[in-house]
Structure 1
């Protein structure tokens, strides 16, 4: 059954980890999402542009330009857009308070929701021990993730021929490694502690590509996920409640004006 998608309006939208400049970036899905979701404020929670990959190998297809232009158009039409840099776009951390085409750069921010609750908003890489203290290992891990994405393409083709459902090797590998070192849980606890130090009610972050909304003690922990695999965003409604949106699930069942997508990607998503 096809679901007709209409434009939804929110008080605030939070998006992170788009990784423009990476071949894995789902710019087609993101453009559709931005077309059907409007907000008074849009917060880009880091790793929007993937400077690490662009330094290694320049890759900037039309889809990346389209995303940038879409964001700039929203800013011109009155949407407040705040860009909080992450580790992959850390070059922007030298420009706090500067506006680029109506997009404001900030290291972090305190977001006051409609219900009066306050949330610390930051990318989160400063609480990742690997990124902060073992830079080379972080780069190697980034390269390994690129390789895992490439393996995904091959495995997906093989599994289609065998009539097997889609299975993400990169997501599985990432989860296995992070489970081994208890990374996700420790990251969440440390970020929640930072929120307590800032005397706020919750924290909104990205970085680990693991979308969730949960309570850690007295702190509401919210992670925006990513636009590489999960295609997720966090939306604040007019009453201050939050919603985790998984766009790829909606996009496959909705009557949307989707931009052209490579056939292999569309088949993979349909098999998921």
Structure 2
């Protein structure tokens, strides 16, 4: 079974999952991949949809309003899914922390919750939260977090123009910020510490695993007996987590060229957990 769907084939019926998890969409920013997200929803459906924080970037909207029609279309898509019977749950993050004032309420049928316990088809309990609660920088040095946010936006802008040129020469997408994140020692250490901290929180709460976002680094892995799942983001990597009807979790990458998708299908297996197949990172 492939994690890659041919996005240009309108004749193919949407792939159906038990649950989809998405985070860090950052509506209201120029780096948001709203059109690609609508394309994702065109080809993927689920009984439940969890929006795991930073769906709307309130930080950026405070400094200047940016809200094109495609961003509004994404919000309408969420509401349309509710009307068609999908359970949609929004767990706010630090960028849309204003929504935490409305925890326990519904808007157009979209539930707003601080955190959620989700039972998978194979009986495992997953704690769902954004993850910023465990980021010391966000909690105790807000000005530094905003500085990092500005630097990330600049990197996205550079990537946008750089990759336009690469695609003209038939070259695949390459992310400077993702590369730097995995090469800079402090960033690598931060990711590792974040993952261990979230896994420890799941273990403290007596659940089988945790689903989060926040650090824009998608992963499915076992950490000391706990399933750690990070949805990544839908700005650069454009990733999502899907739960199949047998409880298997799959990491889906949606930002690929046709040639890249064919290569992935031919040479790799999708990342699965828990289940028979687990792809090494």
TM-score of the two chains, using structure 1 as the length reference: 0.87
**3-state SS in 1 of match to 2:256:** helix
Q: CA–CA distance in 1 between the matches of 2:159 and 2:63?
A: 21
Partner residue of 1:229 out of 230, 236, 251? 236
Q: CA–CA distance in 1 between the matches of 2:122 and 2:114?
A: 24
Q: CA–CA distance in 2 between the matches of 1:151 and 1:8?
A: 34
Q: CA–CA distance in 1 between the matches of 2:177 and 2:154?
A: 8
Q: Is the 8 A contact 1:178 1:184 kept in 2?
A: no
**3-state SS in 2 of match to 1:110:** strand
Shift of 1:157: 4.8
Q: Is the 8 A contact 2:102 2:112 kept in 1?
A: yes
**3-state SS in 2 of match to 1:249:** coil
Check 1:234–1:251 CA distance in 2 against 1; reply closer, same or farther (3 A cut). Answer: farther
Shift of 1:193: 0.5
Check 1:118–1:65 CA distance in 2 against 1; reply closer, same or farther (3 A cut). Answer: same
Which structure would you say has the larger RCO, counting Cα contacts within 8 Å and 6 or more residues apart? 1
Is 1:67 aligned with 2:62? no
Q: Is the 8 A contact 1:213 1:222 kept in 2?
A: yes
Is 1:28 aligned with 2:57? no
Q: CA–CA distance in 2 between the matches of 1:252 and 1:228?
A: 21
Deviations 1:96-155 (A, max 9, x none): 110000000000011011111001100000111111111100000001111111222343
Q: CA–CA distance in 1 between the matches of 2:119 and 2:187?
A: 36
Unmatched 5+ stretches in structure 2: 262-281
Partner residue of 1:189 out of 168, 190, 196? 196
Give the alignment's Cα RMSD to 1 decimal. Answer: 2.1
Check 1:78–1:26 CA distance in 2 against 1; reply closer, same or farther (3 A cut). Answer: same
Shift of 1:156: 3.1
In the other structure, the counterpart of 1:153 is 160
Q: Is the 8 A contact 2:57 2:96 kept in 1?
A: yes
In the other structure, the counterpart of 1:258 is none
Shift of 1:158: 5.2
Q: CA–CA distance in 2 between the matches of 1:63 and 1:53?
A: 17
